[in-house]
Amino acid sequence: MFFTYLRRELRRRRKAALVIALGLALGIGLVITVNSASAGMQVAQGKVLQSLYGLGTDMTVTKAAAAQGSTGATGRPKFNFGATTDSKEQSSDQVMVQGFESLPTTVVSQVAGQKGVDDAVGGLSLRVLKVSGQFDRGQFKQGQTTGGGRGGGGTQPPGEVQGGGAQFDVNNYSVYGVDVAKPALGPLTSSKITSGTSFTSAQSNAAVAVLDSSYAKENKLAVGGTLTIKAVKYKVIGIATADSGDSAANVYIPLTQAQTLAGAKDKVTTVYVKATDSQQIDGVKSAIQKNVPGTTVTTSADLASTVSGSLSTASDLATNLGKWLSIAVLIAAFLVAGLLTSSAVSRRVREFGTLKALGWKSRRVTGQVMGEALVNGLIGGVLGIALGLGGAYLITAISPTLTASVASGGGGGGGGGFGGGPGRQAATKALDIALTAPVSLGTIGLSVGLAVAGGLIAGTFGGWRASRLRPADALRRVE
């Protein structure tokens, strides 16, 4: 009886039901679109941050900045060239720890032992200055004898060196030492191997290298070739292309090799940390700061606050204006649905009064009104999901391009923001990110919940009005 009456009333009053459903649909559709756009902006921000610190990293640990006025080991690079008798090509490499700041490798195990840390891995950021060129030997020219007569001796001025000189080129590039035993964590994970292979655990101290694709192209290097750093020839085993933005470094080599090149045995510049649960990141940060002195901890949230550009502006709009607007529209839709349902009940005084006269109790009448409102809400939910999916699809299809840049900052001199030393260079460049609007199952579930809530709110308005009707009201309306 309940469903038969429900179906008949909805069919008979389908215009009013459609108006209520459309009101709810607009609010729900707006919520889906705004949430999906906001999720897309979070994905875009994630791409920006991933280009700096790598996939899976929740935070980084670097050496704390030195106090103002303190002196650090900031020695200037020195280049020594031996003297030769002939013109000869010469080169010299100066390998320096990025920012001249480093931590002992024991810090990695200390960080890994903190509560809430799933894994931790160290890396060493280096900067290589390569000076190469040649000295051209000048020619000594004897001065010509002047003065003197037929039998007299003239004077001979001193000679001079003519010609010669030197031409040198300075090449500056970044090298990153990675722990090959843990390839799933660290800056190299922000790039994809597009040629050759990545490191294996057996290459912990091998003279092998993976090059960034842009650097390899610029220097005409390929898999199988060699790269010489400080007289050590590294075989190129792979070419990596950054997923978005710039790569973390130009050259990647095993951590042990990087430590040997820089004379930084058992040293790292950055510790990459993965938390067991994303909800525990703040707690893990506090624990590391408390238990590992002399360090600075930077989370993805810290770095996200430095993202600027149109991506940041759009994200703020979606987070603040968009969500508040969708909430306001949703509340208005709920109120309108409730008022329309209550108004529809007022027009059905004769109907409900007659039903009560026939023996229907107030609870049954209220239940009938609630059932009709709930069905209207579900219909509105279906229409709202369709509108929301359409809006999200339109955003994805258009894929508006947003720009983002991350200001340099972060930990100690070698920290350079969240991604360690080489990340500083990438952070100063603007990135173009195509915006998408992914719709998650959670958003769909939220929409269904809002539809049910809207139906219940509207049913509450109408049910309260219906419960107050008396059989005598129906008799007054008889013409």
Q: Is 354 contained in some domain? A: yes
pLDDT for res 281: 85
Q: Is 105 contained in some domain? A: yes
User: Are 351 and 261 contained in the same domain?
Assistant: no
User: Are 324 and 446 contained in the same domain?
Assistant: yes
Please name the residue that has the structure tokens 């001065």.
Answer: 143
User: Are 261 and 359 contained in the same domain?
Assistant: no
Instruction: List the one residue out of 371, 377, 391, 379 whose CA is nearest residue 443.
Output: 391
Range in 151-165, 218-232, 385-399 with the lowest mean pLDDT: 151-165
Residue 365's Cβ-side half-sphere holds a number of Cα atoms within 13 Å equal to 26
What's the pLDDT tens digit per position in 209-227?
Answer: 999 999 999 999 999 999 9
Distance from C-alpha of 235 to C-alpha of 221, rounded to nearest angstrom: 10
Q: Residue 159: helix, strand or coil by DSSP?
A: coil
Q: Is the pLDDT of residue 203 over 90?
A: yes
User: Are 269 and 316 contained in the same domain?
Assistant: no
Distance from C-alpha of 353 to C-alpha of 4, rounded to nearest angstrom: 19
Residue 148 burial by Cβ neighbours in a 10 Å radius (0-12, 13-18, 19+):
exposed
Among 262, 294, 326, the domain boundary falls at 294
**Residue 445: count of CB within 10 angstroms of its CB:** 10
Q: Is 142 contained in some domain? A: no
User: Are 403 and 447 contained in the same domain?
Assistant: yes
Give the CA-trace dihedral at 68, 109, 178, 289, to 10 degrees: -30
Q: Is 404 contained in some domain? A: yes
Q: Per-residue pLDDT averaged across 170-190, rounded? A: 87
Q: Per-residue pLDDT averaged across 455-471, rounded? A: 71
Among 247, 269, 294, the domain boundary falls at 294
Q: Is 67 contained in some domain? A: no
Q: Per-residue pLDDT averaged across 194-199, rounded? A: 93
pLDDT for res 446: 82
Q: Residue 390: helix, strand or coil by DSSP?
A: helix
* DSSP string of 174-204, one letter each residue: EEEEE-TT-TTSSGGGGEEEEEE----GGGT
Highest mean pLDDT among 119-128, 161-170, 439-448: 119-128
Angle of helix 2-12 versus helix 362-398 axis, rounded to 10: 60
Distance from C-alpha of 391 to C-alpha of 393, rounded to nearest angstrom: 5
- Domain hosting residue 46, numbered range: 2-53+310-476
Mean pLDDT over each residue of the chain, to the nearest integer: 76
Q: Per-residue pLDDT averaged across 19-41, rounded? A: 82
Q: Is the pLDDT of residue 71 over 50?
A: no
Q: Could you give the C-alpha distances from 327 to 63, 196, 425, in angstroms and in order?
A: 44, 52, 41
52 strand-pairing partners: none
Q: What is the CA radius of gyration of the chain?
A: 37
Residue 377 burial by Cβ neighbours in a 10 Å radius (0-12, 13-18, 19+):
buried
User: Are 288 and 337 contained in the same domain?
Assistant: no
User: Are 383 and 425 contained in the same domain?
Assistant: yes
User: Are 267 and 322 contained in the same domain?
Assistant: no
Q: How many domains does the chain have?
A: 2
Q: Is 271 contained in some domain? A: yes
Among 230, 261, 294, the domain boundary falls at 294
User: Are 246 and 385 contained in the same domain?
Assistant: no
Q: Residue 46: helix, strand or coil by DSSP?
A: helix
- What is the share, in percent, of the chain residues with pLDDT greater than 90? 21
Tell me the whole-structure pTM to 2 decimals. Answer: 0.57
Judging by DSSP bridges, how do beta strands 232-242 and 208-212 pair with one another? parallel
Distance from C-alpha of 287 to C-alpha of 112, rounded to nearest angstrom: 11
User: Are 283 and 317 contained in the same domain?
Assistant: no
**Residue 50: count of CB within 10 angstroms of its CB:** 22
Pair 299, 410: CB distance under 8 Å: no
Per-residue confidence band for 190, with pLDDT thresholds at 50, 70 and 90: confident
Of the chain, the end-to-end C-alpha distance in Å amounts to: 28
User: Are 472 and 334 contained in the same domain?
Assistant: yes
Q: Is 58 contained in some domain? A: no
**Residue 87: count of CB within 10 angstroms of its CB:** 11
Q: Is 19 contained in some domain? A: yes
- What is the share, in percent, of the chain residues with pLDDT greater than 70? 65
Q: Per-residue pLDDT averaged across 344-348, rounded? A: 70
User: Are 199 and 224 contained in the same domain?
Assistant: yes
Q: Could you give the C-alpha distances from 200 to 77, 150, 181, in angstroms and in order?
A: 33, 86, 7
